[in-house]
A and B are shown apart, each in its own frame.
Chain A
């Protein structure tokens, strides 16, 4: 079966760095996405990786290793507004997204 694993919850301190991991087992691979979802709101797109390596976008970076079925989202200089759930999703062989359950990130002052 297809499976996306990510930690349920993480806590970090304002101004610090946090890494949210995602491992996947899917039938085919056409890219990995990270979305941010604030409580009670819709998910919004953060990043997309299809090749191995690091993609940097401001305070957020996303890394992919296709051979290991592994990705992480790195958030730097954490701000209180980064408190949200972070969703990992993989596009499978049919270009349909398989979603992880999300990681709830709690930022403490």
Chain B
């Protein structure tokens, strides 16, 4: 059972380059999300999706795009990378973010991005 799979695990970009972080889950989860984690700060929500074809902005959406064409996949696109986007990115999913009886988020292993 793969769970949540993120690629790549590590990436170095130059300022202005674009790239896509891939995220796939095989648990038929409705809810998928992207977070960034920076030292001394809590996880911050970038974008999220409550189902195929539905996406919404989180706390820090600027500079990022997402799409959800299938239940399984939720890629995160960096349009024009900036040094401020150097961070660790986590994709996470759950059956439903309204399912407060479980509410458990399943995280991918993380992607470490450095922008020079």
Contacts and interface: CB of A to CB of B under 8 A. Distances in A.
Interface of A: 4, 8, 30-31, 33, 35, 41-45, 48, 50, 87, 89, 91, 95-102
Interface residues of B, number: 21
Contacts of B103: 31, 33, 48, 91
Interface stretch (B22-30, B76-84, B105-113): B105-113
B100 A95 contact: yes
24 contacts: A31-B103, A33-B104, A33-B105, A35-B105, A41-B110, A42-B90, A42-B107, A42-B109, A45-B104, A87-B42, A87-B43, A89-B42, A89-B43, A91-B100, A95-B100, A96-B45, A96-B48, A96-B97, A97-B45, A98-B42, A99-B42, A101-B41, A101-B42, A102-B42
Interface string B70-105: 000000000000000000001000000110101111
Contacts, number: 54
B51 interface: no
A50 to B, nearest CB: 6
Nearest to B43: A99
Contacts of B109: 41-42
B58 interface: yes
A23 to B, nearest CB: 14
Contacts of A96: 45, 48, 58, 97
A31 B103 CA distance: 9
A102 B38 CA distance: 11
